[in-house]
Homo-oligomer: A and B are copies of this chain.
Amino acid sequence: MVHSVPDLTGGAGPVLDFERRILDNVPEIEHWFRQQWQERSPPFYASVDLRNAGFKLAPVDTNLFPGGFNNLSEDALPCAVQASQVAIERTCPDALRLLLVPERHTRNIYYLLNVSRLARILSATGLEVRVGSLSEEVTAPTEITLPGGESLRVEPLVRNGARLGTAGFDPCIVLLNNDLSAGAPPILRGLDPDQTLMPPLHAGWSVRRKSHHFACYDEVAAEFARLVGVDPWTFNPLFARCGEVDFRDSAANECLATQVERLLSEIAGRYREHGIREKPFVIVKADAGTYGMGIMTVRDASEVASLNRKQRNKMAVVKEGLQVTEVIIQEGVPSYETLHQSVAEPVVYMIDRYVVGGFHRVHPDRGIDENLNAPGMHFVPLPFFCSCNLPDQRAEPGTSRHNRFYIYGVIARLALLAAALELDRGAPQAESPRADTPALVG
């Protein structure tokens, strides 16, 4: 599908001010990012889902094991290679061999195309790359044929003392593209410190919490808001969390109903303050969930009490059959971007501290207030010239594609900074990752 630049059908108004402020402060903003990255290290890679409401442009999810490199434009690859060269130079300049550990599901062709694309980027970086699977089904090297004539070789992992590899292959770097929803398996634990494991195990979803990420984002957003002189709410979704829900027992979900009501009323207050005539909604998601599973839109607290069996089952279990007991309640940001008359949301891909491309996730059957990461979605790569690092400061706000995508890149990089902060604080030697996270921050 050819990419036309998405229509922004939503209300003009405050977001254009925000755009103008960003474009007026490009040197200060880039200088600030440079300073931030001197103080902390970015994750190896990340993708950020954004929602653009016209009056608000905010990240709603940050993925530290991005699975859609195949959705980037082919033209984006040289920048991805260059960024991964920087990452390798910074973290492990002596590396010669890299082991990529993907998700277990070896039958999802789209995911395998992602793995193949990633392996190609890393090879071009100048590393010998092998793919080693955690899946019990992979008992011998397996050549998988992919559409477009590509093929991907997947090998069983081999643990040799404290070293992880595949048969005859001892890598310097182990790169996870597996989000460890079910926890880090023993074969990944206690690796030789000389074998660089990226991202670290505590970046996996068995440890990570969305609410912790967004608490870190609050801090980053507050500082950035001071820098450019805007209200942080313009690019920061409010959120709350509940730590002990049980979707199979409605009576147990009083905390959830209370938090939903409180958050809806806070959003309504912000809408009044900014003159926005919209009906507030929240998104309830598994605090450790991924793959678009365990997500619902709630427009009224009463909906939480009256979930039907199907909805309850859908919310109760996420990837790899895990029970959901912790949820994040996030301010819903309507998406007013459309592509080919379908609701769309931008997804920005980063390697090291650089935006390397992105795409629009498009869903023809979903509304502006719904999760688009669901069966039926498709992806439209951002055109390469809109590569998020070429603002056009002479264009009028709202008219330039370069500027729209530059601003996407800025917001995505703020989420990346939040992820860096989150991983620093969550590192095993640090204190409990969520001890300093208040229940409701905004």
Interface of A with B (CB < 8 Å)? Answer: 26-31, 33-35, 37-38, 74-75, 77-79, 81-83, 85-86, 88-89, 93-97, 120, 123-128, 354, 384-385, 387-391, 393
If A31-B96, A123-B393, A124-B389 are given as contacts, then 20 extra A-B residue pairs at C-beta distance below 8 Å, sorted by A number, are: A26-B123, A26-B126, A27-B126, A27-B128, A28-B96, A30-B126, A30-B127, A31-B94, A31-B95, A33-B126, A34-B93, A34-B94, A37-B89, A75-B75, A75-B385, A78-B390, A86-B86, A124-B390, A124-B391, A384-B384
Q: Which residues of B contact A28 (CB under 8 A)?
A: 96
B77 touching A79, Cβ below 8 Å: no
> What number of copies of this chain does the assembly contain?
2
Q: Which residues of B contact A388 (CB under 8 A)?
A: 78
Bound CA span A28–B95, Å: 10
Q: Which residues of B contact A93 (CB under 8 A)?
A: 34-35, 38
Q: Which residues of B contact A27 (CB under 8 A)?
A: 96-97, 123, 126-128
User: Closest CB of chain B to A390's CB: distance in Å?
Assistant: 5
Bound CA span A120–B127, Å: 33
Chain A binding surface SS class: helix
B384 touching A75, Cβ below 8 Å: yes
B74 touching A126, Cβ below 8 Å: no
Choice from B29, B83, B94, B97 contacting A82 with Cβ under 8 Å = B83
30 pairs, A vs B, C-beta closer than 8 Å: A26-B123, A26-B126, A27-B96, A27-B123, A27-B126, A27-B127, A27-B128, A30-B85, A31-B94, A31-B95, A31-B126, A34-B85, A34-B89, A34-B126, A35-B93, A35-B94, A37-B89, A38-B93, A74-B385, A75-B75, A78-B385, A78-B388, A78-B389, A79-B79, A79-B82, A81-B389, A82-B82, A85-B389, A86-B86, A120-B390
